[in-house]
Structure 1
Amino acid sequence: MEDPQTDAWFTGVVREHSRALVRYFARRAPRQDADDLAADVLVTAWRRRTDVPREAVLPWLYATAGYTLANYRRKRTDLPVEEVPERPSAARVGTDPELSAIFDAEVRGALEAVSERDRQILLLHAWEGLDGAEIAAVLGISRSGADAALSRARKRLREAWGDRLRL
């Protein structure tokens, strides 16, 4: 049975967050798979629509995207950070400065030097624009825990970046 309110809610979720999901996956997986992966997350949101917190839709979507990406990587050979091409095609990056930044050798090297968890936290903040409360929701930790984890991750990134500059 169709529910006009639920349909309207989901249509709003798709309109408001589908681009953010595609960008999330384009930064972490082959670009040609980003649309399909984002669609998988939206299908999950529809199936679990009663579980999606209305006050924190995007963090819930990012948490689900993290699981979707992990499943995708288990099924496929992942592209290691060090193998990301130096000069991306204009079609892949377009005019998005955030996507362009990942192709910078120093950024790649510094991100490679920190742990996977630090990298996840840093990218959720820098690329996805999440604040401490939203990062906490994605990771399933407290707000203070997320703030502390972000602070530690930033410190380790600064140290890794400084080490790379001194080489």
Structure 2
Amino acid sequence: MSTHTQTAGEDAQEPTIVPLRPRLDDAWFTELFEKYSSHIYKFVFRRTSAEDVEDLTAETFAIAWRRRADIPEGYVLQWLYRTAGFVVANHNRRQRPVLLNEFPEIARDTDPAFTVIEDAEIREAFYSLSERDRRILLLAAWEGQSSEQIAEVLEVSENAAAVALSRARARFSQALV
């Protein structure tokens, strides 16, 4: 790809083409991995057993490499979270079936972050919230995401994410009363 600069005889409306580093090269993927691997590792860690975290995180990034042309520009983190969620769900489905007399109180495909809420009052208040509110609170509290990062995941503006987080916290506080 070459750089095109405008000359005096050319149409003033023609855009200037600036060469970009190929979005899908090894350097792009290295940058993607360095920037987001810890986010995806933590996300997977909270949803599966400790011995599977590294494999499932690696599988998520292997899929990202194979499907790199499908990752929407500007939505990399959201795509990685969604892919990691599918990877974990597929992994959990492949697990050994549970006999009915050993069936857990909370289904295996439920986010383990929910199961560690031991205080019955807190758990009841948390489960009374909408799925969206629970997701926002978990992204903030468990994943340590900022409003800006939550905005990326939810595909909304940073202001909308901050408002949604504030409202979710308020509804959670109200549910505790």
Q: TM-score, normalised by structure 1?
A: 0.61
**Does the 8 A contact of 1:41 with 1:64 survive in 2?**
yes
> Which ranges in structure 2 are unaligned for 5 or more consecutive residues?
1-21, 96-106
46, 55, 60: which one aligns with 2:65: 46
Write 1 or 2 for the structure with the bigger share of helix: 1
Aligned to 1:120: 135
1:123-162 equivalences under 5 Å are 123-141=138-156, 145-160=160-175, 162=176
Q: CA deviation at 1:71?
A: 3.7
> Which ranges in structure 1 are unaligned for 5 or more consecutive residues?
85-101
**Does the 8 A contact of 1:111 with 1:119 survive in 2?**
yes
Aligned to 2:108: 78
Q: Does residue 54 of structure 2 align to residue 35 of structure 1?
A: yes
With a CA cutoff of 8 Å and minimum separation of 6, indicate the structure with the bigger relative contact order.
1
Percent of matched pairs sharing the same residue: 41
- Note closer, same or farther for the CA distance 1:71–1:121 as it changes in structure 2 (3 Å cut): farther
Separation of aligned partners in 1, 2:32 and 2:138: 22
Q: TM-score, normalised by structure 2?
A: 0.59
**Does the 8 A contact of 1:41 with 1:65 survive in 2?**
yes
1:115-142 CA distances to partner (integer Å, 9 max, x unpaired)? 3332211122233333445334323455
The aligned amino acid for 1:12 is E
Q: Does residue 44 of structure 2 align to residue 25 of structure 1?
A: yes
Separation of aligned partners in 2, 1:24 and 1:112: 20
- Note closer, same or farther for the CA distance 1:113–1:37 as it changes in structure 2 (3 Å cut): farther
Structure showing greater radius of gyration is 2
Q: How many aligned positions are there?
A: 142
The aligned amino acid for 1:121 is I
Structure 1 vs Structure 2 CA RMSD: 3.5
**Does the 8 A contact of 1:82 with 1:108 survive in 2?**
no
Aligned to 1:10: 29
Aligned to 1:63: 82
Q: CA deviation at 1:45?
A: 1.2
